[in-house]
Amino acid sequence: TLARDISKLGPCCIATVSNGRIAETSFSGLPFLKRTESLEPSTGEEFIFGYLQRYANKDACFLLSGGLDSSTLVGMAAKELGQKITCYTGIFSGFGHLDESEYAKIVANHCNVNLRCIELGNDNVLQNLPKIVESIGEPFLDYSILPTYALFKEISRDYSAVFSGDGPDHLFNRYYPLA
């Protein structure tokens, strides 16, 4: 991974840094589900609200793509936290369908959150390539690491924690064959 001394975070885990040490902590309170079970909406909402109250502070921001998962998380956070939150989105000018920033702007406006748009063109993405390759401890076949690294590099100037909408399929056990 991009963090030293952490090879990979387990499912439903977070990494925290305290006194220069990194610790991996498992989420608590989420019921284990069988593939055929579903999480009651009120239980999931309570879990997410509790998590936001516990971890979202002035040093935290949110990723917002305008997609369903990040939009839901940002909407819940804006409602629950009682403070104006800051969100980041990447702009992929000239890449058509890859640029979801217009959707992020719609959600940010609706939720009344601060939105910082970061240009993620070829120049600032490719200049990070040597550092990315050096940081990866295992083969990694997802090219999204290139713009993600550039985005997180920008975010790290002002924030030490980032919430994203990634992972609900893991969290709520929704990976299953659709056919």
End-to-end alpha carbon distance in the chain: 33
Q: Which of 40-49, 75-84, 131-140, 157-166 has the lowest mean pLDDT?
A: 40-49
Q: What integer is the mean pLDDT of 16-40?
A: 61
From residue 134, how far is each of 2, 25, 84, 114, 124 by CA, in Å?
9, 26, 37, 33, 17
Asked whether the predicted pLDDT for residue 38 surpasses 60, the reply is no
Alpha-carbon span 55 to 52, nearest angstrom? 5
Alpha-carbon span 179 to 176, nearest angstrom? 9
What percentage of the chain has pLDDT greater than the value 90? 18
State the pLDDT at residue 148: 85
Asked whether the predicted pLDDT for residue 115 surpasses 90, the reply is yes
pTM metric for this prediction: 0.69
- Higher-confidence residue of 19 and 17: namely 19
Phi, psi of 53 (to 5 degrees): -60, -35
- Higher-confidence residue of 155 and 142: namely 155
The amino acid present at 172, given as its one-letter code, is F
